[in-house]
């Protein structure tokens, strides 16, 4: 192989590598300029077939700037074609930025509305929580009162039971006293009856003995005469 042929091959490889490097370096995102709707064509002239109508702000991938007023680009959905270079720019156009800003504002406003709604819901929940806390505290106070009343009622019941026991005991003692009193009365009646019988018997004996004693005295008096 001659030196000239080797040199030619080296130059060819160098050109291929340069083209690859250039294409890689130029594969960046560019945008269609403001307020325009331009054509993406099959070839590098205005008479070729139109592939797409591109609106202002449409992002494109720049594959190659052909240096003849056209650039080879690719859309986001993979369609490749030629586009006028002078209508491309490396930053989004103002209208696109404004549209994005408006969309962001709308998004933030919607989020703000959502946050306000959440805040209102949280405030209502907080109010409900405060109401529930107040109801719980009221119920706890009522429960404490019920417990106190229940405790007092238990004390009253115990006192009542004690009083009832004392009443029953007093009634028993009273009945015992009544029985003893009746027994004493019965005993007194029996004594009086016994005493009365003795007195009656004594009276009978005296009535029987006194005449005899008087008769004996009279007989003695007659004997003395």
Q: Is residue 186 assigned to a domain?
A: no
Q: Is residue 68 assigned to a domain?
A: yes
Q: Is residue 39 assigned to a domain?
A: yes
CATH of the domain at 11: 2.30.30.40
Distance CA 213, CA 203 (A): 15
Q: Is residue 206 assigned to a domain?
A: no
Among candidate residues 87, 109, 84, the one with its CA nearest the CA of residue 33: 87
**Distance of alpha carbon 14 from the chain centroid:** 75
Q: Is residue 121 assigned to a domain?
A: no
Distance CA 4, CA 7 (A): 5
pLDDT value at residue 222 = 46
Q: Is residue 55 assigned to a domain?
A: yes
Please give the C-alpha separations between residue 47 and each of 41, 44, 125, 142, 153, in angstroms, as whole numbers: 9, 9, 68, 93, 108
Structural domain tally of the chain?
Answer: 1
**Confidence check: pLDDT of 17 > 80:** no
Q: Which of 28-37, 53-62, 171-180, 194-203 is least confident? A: 28-37
Q: Is residue 65 assigned to a domain?
A: yes
pTM, entire model: 0.33
pLDDT value at residue 223 = 54
Instruction: Determine the structural domain holding residue 67 and report its residue range.
Output: 3-91
Mean pLDDT of 201-218: 66
Q: Is residue 34 assigned to a domain?
A: yes
List pLDDT tens digits, range 163-196: 788 877 778 888 888 787 777 777 766 666 666 7
- DSSP annotation string for 34-60: TT-EEEEESSSSTTSPEEEEEETT-EE
């Amino acid at each position: 192989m001659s030196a000239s042929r080797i040199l030619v091959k080296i130059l060819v490889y160098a050109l291929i590598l340069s083209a690859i490097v250039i294409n890689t370096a130029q594969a960046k995102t560019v945008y269609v300029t403001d307020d325009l709707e331009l054509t993406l064509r099959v070839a590098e002239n205005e008479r070729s077939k139109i592939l797409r109508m591109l609106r202002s702000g449409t992002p494109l991938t720049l594959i190659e700037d052909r240096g003849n007023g056209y650039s080879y680009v690719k859309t986001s959905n993979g369609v490749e074609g030629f586009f006028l270079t002078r209508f491309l720019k490396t930053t989004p156009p103002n209208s696109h930025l404004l549209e994005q800003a408006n969309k962001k504002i709308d998004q933030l406003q919607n989020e703000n509305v959502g946050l306000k709604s959440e805040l209102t819901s949280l405030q209502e929940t907080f109010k409900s929580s405060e109401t529930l806390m107040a109801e719980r505290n009221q119920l706890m106070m009522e429960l404490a009162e019920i417990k106190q009343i229940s405790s007092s009622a238990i004390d009253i019941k115990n006192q009542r039971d004690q009083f009832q026991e004392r009443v029953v005991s007093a009634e028993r003692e009273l009945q015992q006293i009544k029985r003893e009193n009746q027994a004493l009365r019965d005993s007194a009646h029996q004594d009086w009856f016994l005493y009365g019988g003795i007195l009656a018997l004594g009276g009978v004996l005296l009535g029987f003995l006194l005449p005899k004693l008087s008769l004996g005295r009279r007989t003695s008096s007659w004997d003395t005469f």
